[in-house]
Structure 1
Amino acid sequence: MIIFFIFYILNIVLNFFIKKIFITIGLSHLNVFLGGIFGFVRGIVLVFFLLFFIFCFNHLVYLNYLKHSLLIDFLFHVKDYLLLIFF
Protein backbone atom coordinates (compact mmCIF):
# COMPACT_ATOMS: atom_id res chain seq x y z
CA MET A 1 0.00 0.00 0.00
CA ILE A 2 2.91 2.31 0.72
CA ILE A 3 4.34 1.67 -2.75
CA PHE A 4 0.99 2.66 -4.28
CA PHE A 5 0.97 5.98 -2.44
CA ILE A 6 4.61 6.66 -3.34
CA PHE A 7 3.86 6.11 -7.04
CA TYR A 8 0.63 8.10 -6.75
CA ILE A 9 2.41 11.11 -5.26
CA LEU A 10 5.24 10.74 -7.78
CA ASN A 11 2.64 10.66 -10.56
CA ILE A 12 1.01 13.86 -9.28
CA VAL A 13 4.33 15.69 -9.01
CA LEU A 14 5.54 14.56 -12.44
CA ASN A 15 2.22 15.45 -14.07
CA PHE A 16 2.36 18.91 -12.51
CA PHE A 17 5.84 19.67 -13.83
CA ILE A 18 5.23 18.13 -17.24
CA LYS A 19 2.01 20.11 -17.59
CA LYS A 20 3.83 23.33 -16.67
CA ILE A 21 6.50 22.61 -19.28
CA PHE A 22 3.92 21.83 -21.97
CA ILE A 23 1.90 24.96 -21.22
CA THR A 24 5.06 27.07 -21.36
CA ILE A 25 6.14 25.55 -24.67
CA GLY A 26 2.59 25.22 -26.03
CA LEU A 27 2.42 21.47 -26.63
CA SER A 28 -1.13 20.69 -25.55
CA HIS A 29 -1.79 17.96 -28.15
CA LEU A 30 1.42 16.21 -27.27
CA ASN A 31 0.36 16.34 -23.64
CA VAL A 32 -2.88 14.54 -24.44
CA PHE A 33 -1.07 11.92 -26.52
CA LEU A 34 1.61 11.26 -23.91
CA GLY A 35 -1.04 11.17 -21.19
CA GLY A 36 -2.90 8.50 -23.11
CA ILE A 37 0.23 6.41 -23.52
CA PHE A 38 1.18 6.87 -19.86
CA GLY A 39 -2.34 5.92 -18.73
CA PHE A 40 -2.33 2.83 -20.94
CA VAL A 41 1.04 1.65 -19.61
CA ARG A 42 -0.01 2.41 -16.03
CA GLY A 43 -3.18 0.34 -16.53
CA ILE A 44 -1.21 -2.61 -17.90
CA VAL A 45 1.22 -2.45 -14.97
CA LEU A 46 -1.63 -2.24 -12.47
CA VAL A 47 -3.42 -5.24 -13.99
CA PHE A 48 -0.14 -7.16 -14.11
CA PHE A 49 0.55 -6.63 -10.41
CA LEU A 50 -3.04 -7.50 -9.53
CA LEU A 51 -2.84 -10.73 -11.53
CA PHE A 52 0.59 -11.50 -10.11
CA PHE A 53 -0.64 -11.28 -6.51
CA ILE A 54 -3.77 -13.29 -7.30
CA PHE A 55 -1.57 -15.92 -8.93
CA CYS A 56 0.79 -16.02 -5.94
CA PHE A 57 -1.95 -16.46 -3.35
CA ASN A 58 -4.39 -18.62 -5.29
CA HIS A 59 -2.40 -20.53 -7.89
CA LEU A 60 -4.62 -23.58 -8.41
CA VAL A 61 -7.91 -21.76 -8.92
CA TYR A 62 -6.62 -19.61 -11.80
CA LEU A 63 -4.39 -22.23 -13.42
CA ASN A 64 -6.88 -22.84 -16.25
CA TYR A 65 -7.00 -19.13 -17.08
CA LEU A 66 -3.23 -18.89 -17.02
CA LYS A 67 -2.83 -21.77 -19.46
CA HIS A 68 -5.11 -20.17 -22.07
CA SER A 69 -4.11 -16.52 -21.74
CA LEU A 70 -1.51 -15.02 -24.06
CA LEU A 71 -1.09 -11.72 -22.22
CA ILE A 72 -0.58 -13.24 -18.78
CA ASP A 73 1.98 -15.68 -20.14
CA PHE A 74 3.87 -12.85 -21.82
CA LEU A 75 3.75 -10.67 -18.69
CA PHE A 76 5.08 -13.48 -16.51
CA HIS A 77 7.98 -13.97 -18.91
CA VAL A 78 8.68 -10.23 -18.67
CA LYS A 79 8.49 -10.48 -14.88
CA ASP A 80 10.99 -13.34 -14.82
CA TYR A 81 13.33 -11.41 -17.11
CA LEU A 82 13.12 -8.24 -14.98
CA LEU A 83 13.68 -10.18 -11.77
CA LEU A 84 16.72 -11.79 -13.35
CA ILE A 85 18.14 -8.39 -14.31
CA PHE A 86 17.41 -6.41 -11.14
CA PHE A 87 17.67 -9.05 -8.41
Structure 2
Amino acid sequence: DEDVHIVGLSVLSGSHMNLVPEVLDGLREAGLGDVPVVVGGIIPPSDAEALTALGVAAVFTPKDYGLTGIMRGIAEIVRTANGLDRA
Protein backbone atom coordinates (compact mmCIF):
# COMPACT_ATOMS: atom_id res chain seq x y z
CA ASP A 1 0.00 0.00 0.00
CA GLU A 2 2.91 2.36 0.59
CA ASP A 3 4.98 1.60 -2.52
CA VAL A 4 7.68 -0.42 -0.82
CA HIS A 5 11.06 0.17 -2.44
CA ILE A 6 13.08 -2.60 -0.78
CA VAL A 7 12.66 -5.41 1.76
CA GLY A 8 15.42 -5.97 4.30
CA LEU A 9 15.66 -9.16 6.31
CA SER A 10 17.95 -9.70 9.28
CA VAL A 11 18.25 -13.39 10.04
CA LEU A 12 20.52 -14.27 12.95
CA SER A 13 18.97 -17.67 13.71
CA GLY A 14 20.73 -19.55 10.93
CA SER A 15 17.42 -20.24 9.21
CA HIS A 16 18.10 -17.93 6.26
CA MET A 17 17.98 -20.80 3.71
CA ASN A 18 14.42 -21.56 4.83
CA LEU A 19 13.04 -18.11 5.57
CA VAL A 20 14.41 -16.09 2.67
CA PRO A 21 13.02 -18.35 -0.09
CA GLU A 22 9.62 -18.24 1.65
CA VAL A 23 9.69 -14.43 1.64
CA LEU A 24 10.78 -14.33 -2.01
CA ASP A 25 7.99 -16.74 -2.96
CA GLY A 26 5.46 -14.71 -0.97
CA LEU A 27 6.50 -11.49 -2.69
CA ARG A 28 6.22 -13.11 -6.11
CA GLU A 29 2.80 -14.56 -5.27
CA ALA A 30 1.65 -11.10 -4.18
CA GLY A 31 2.82 -9.60 -7.47
CA LEU A 32 5.79 -7.91 -5.82
CA GLY A 33 8.58 -9.96 -7.34
CA ASP A 34 10.20 -6.77 -8.62
CA VAL A 35 10.81 -5.42 -5.10
CA PRO A 36 14.48 -6.01 -4.25
CA VAL A 37 15.32 -8.02 -1.14
CA VAL A 38 18.51 -7.64 0.91
CA VAL A 39 19.52 -10.01 3.67
CA GLY A 40 21.85 -9.63 6.62
CA GLY A 41 23.11 -12.08 9.18
CA ILE A 42 25.72 -14.70 9.87
CA ILE A 43 25.58 -16.23 6.41
CA PRO A 44 28.30 -18.48 4.99
CA PRO A 45 29.63 -17.49 1.54
CA SER A 46 28.11 -20.58 -0.12
CA ASP A 47 24.68 -19.69 1.28
CA ALA A 48 25.13 -16.07 0.18
CA GLU A 49 25.77 -17.30 -3.37
CA ALA A 50 22.69 -19.51 -3.21
CA LEU A 51 20.52 -16.64 -1.93
CA THR A 52 21.80 -14.36 -4.68
CA ALA A 53 20.98 -17.06 -7.25
CA LEU A 54 17.43 -17.15 -5.84
CA GLY A 55 17.06 -13.41 -6.47
CA VAL A 56 18.34 -11.66 -3.35
CA ALA A 57 19.86 -8.32 -4.38
CA ALA A 58 22.56 -8.24 -1.68
CA VAL A 59 23.75 -10.23 1.31
CA PHE A 60 25.44 -8.48 4.23
CA THR A 61 27.47 -10.35 6.83
CA PRO A 62 29.48 -9.29 9.89
CA LYS A 63 32.34 -8.58 7.47
CA ASP A 64 30.21 -5.72 6.14
CA TYR A 65 30.43 -3.14 8.88
CA GLY A 66 30.80 0.15 7.00
CA LEU A 67 27.35 1.62 7.51
CA THR A 68 27.84 4.38 4.94
CA GLY A 69 28.87 1.88 2.28
CA ILE A 70 25.98 -0.42 3.14
CA MET A 71 23.47 2.42 2.90
CA ARG A 72 25.01 3.60 -0.38
CA GLY A 73 24.69 0.04 -1.74
CA ILE A 74 21.07 -0.23 -0.67
CA ALA A 75 20.25 3.14 -2.22
CA GLU A 76 21.89 2.01 -5.46
CA ILE A 77 19.83 -1.20 -5.45
CA VAL A 78 16.63 0.85 -5.08
CA ARG A 79 17.71 3.25 -7.83
CA THR A 80 18.54 0.41 -10.21
CA ALA A 81 15.28 -1.42 -9.46
CA ASN A 82 13.35 1.74 -10.28
CA GLY A 83 15.28 2.58 -13.45
CA LEU A 84 16.78 5.76 -12.04
CA ASP A 85 20.07 7.16 -13.26
CA ARG A 86 22.81 7.49 -10.69
CA ALA A 87 23.01 11.06 -9.37
TM-score, length-scaled by structure 2: 0.32
- Higher Rg of the two aligned structures: 1
Q: Give the structure, 1 or 2, with the largest relative contact order (CA under 8 Å, sep 6 or more).
A: 2
More helix by proportion, 1 or 2? 1
